[in-house]
Structure formats: C-alpha cells, structure tokens
Amino acid sequence: MKNILVTGGSRGIGACIVKELAKKGNNVVLNYFNSEKEARHIQEELKEMGICVDIFKADVSKHEQVKQLRDFFFSKYKNIDILINNAGISQIKLFTEISDEDWINMLDVNLNSVFYTTKEFVSNMIKNQNGCIINISSIWGVVGGSCEVHYSTAKAGMIGMTKALSKELGLSNIRVNAIAPGMINTQMNKEIDNEDVENIKKEIALGRIGDPIDIFRCVEWLIEDKYVTGQVISIDGGWYI
C-alpha cells in the first residue's frame, strides 16, 4: 500500500489513474480545482465499492494553495510515496493570437504547478530516501505542436525538469520520469472535430487513438519499477516514431 497524490485527478487521464490506483488498495488523495462535481462523483463511486479516496480542492498553479494541499496530505498520511503531476490545461491558438494572459496561465498551470507540488512534497521523499515522481507531459512537449506553442513550451519544460531532477534526486533513491501521451480519448481533446481525428488516426501506426487506461498501465509500471529514472515515455500508438 502506497500513499499517492494525483493532481488534476477529477477527469480524463487523472481520473483513470486515481480510480485504478485506489482499486489496488493504495491511499490516494485526489486534487482538483474546477471540477468538484466530478471529484465527488469519483469519491462516491469508489465508496460504493468499499474504497476510500480523499479529495482536496487546490489551484496547484498557486504556491500557497499547494502548501495547503501539502498540509492536508500529511494530516492524513505521514509520508508520501508517489507524486503524480497531472494537472493541466490546453488551448489551440495561432501563435500571433496568444495573449500575455494566455501564455502566463498556460505556464502557471502546466509547468509552475509541477515545480510547486514537487518542491512541497520532495523533502519528505528525501528524508525517507525513497519516492517516485511521475510527470504527465505530452507528445507536443517532445515534438512541438502547431497552434499550441504555449502548451508545447510548458510540456517541454516539464520534460527538462524531469531529466534534471532525476539526476539530482537519484542518490536519494527517488525516481523521476515523464509520460508523453499522444492523442487520448479525454474531454481535453473533444474540441478536435471528427475529420481531424480521423486524419490523425491515419498517422498513428496502430490506427486508433488511445484510452486513459493506456497511460495508467505505464504509470503502474513506473511505480513498481526500481531502476528507471530520467525517462520520457511516449504512449502514442506509434504516432511519432
């Protein structure tokens, strides 16, 4: 049984990760911000199965709220074993139309949040000389996405942080890895029209888009593995080989 925090755990990939980890008997804290209804639905759904999941509202792009999340987590559990930085937003816009506010908000939610949460929880891992950090990046953080420059930049920054931090924390027996999902069937991708989705499928070696459970399987492996760190694992069906 491990003590786990999942940021942005109320929808999509995060919700799948929360449910599956909780079903396996782990202590899971689900962090959410805007999606309280969805978070409580997950909590109730699992409760009906005899599984307890804690939920906590915090905007992880704000350092002070992350500190509150930290205090809540450690009021429940003495130590943290796994930190999964999943909170994020997306936006499709031409580069020339990205406002200062768009840019700052994207970096705050998708990158600064990873800095804040990791900073507030890693000291406990260092003290225990054990831990696992998994950052959910994106295929666009690896190859860049047209009309998603700010999103790509934030996700690429997450990858750089993953690699650098893995070197710094390795001697403390803390593994830091990133997952770069391709096209996954989540609410975040619902704004892409059907024609574009069909065209994307033609570019994917496996001929289909992924499911959140595909990402969870990688998360599960990274939690159990003891010798992988500093890696960026693309789960994209062979979209970019």
Active site residues: 151
Question: Does the CA dihedral 55-23-90-82 come out positive or negative?
Answer: positive
The pairing of strands 54-57 and 82-85 is unpaired
- CA 137, CA 132: separation in Å to the nearest integer? 16
Helix, strand, coil tally for the chain in percent (to 5): 50, 15, 30
- CA 241, CA 235: separation in Å to the nearest integer? 11
Question: Is 175 within 8 Å of 166 (Cβ atoms)?
Answer: yes
Among 175, 229, 223, 225, CA closest to 2: 223
Among 161, 173, 150, CA closest to 115: 161
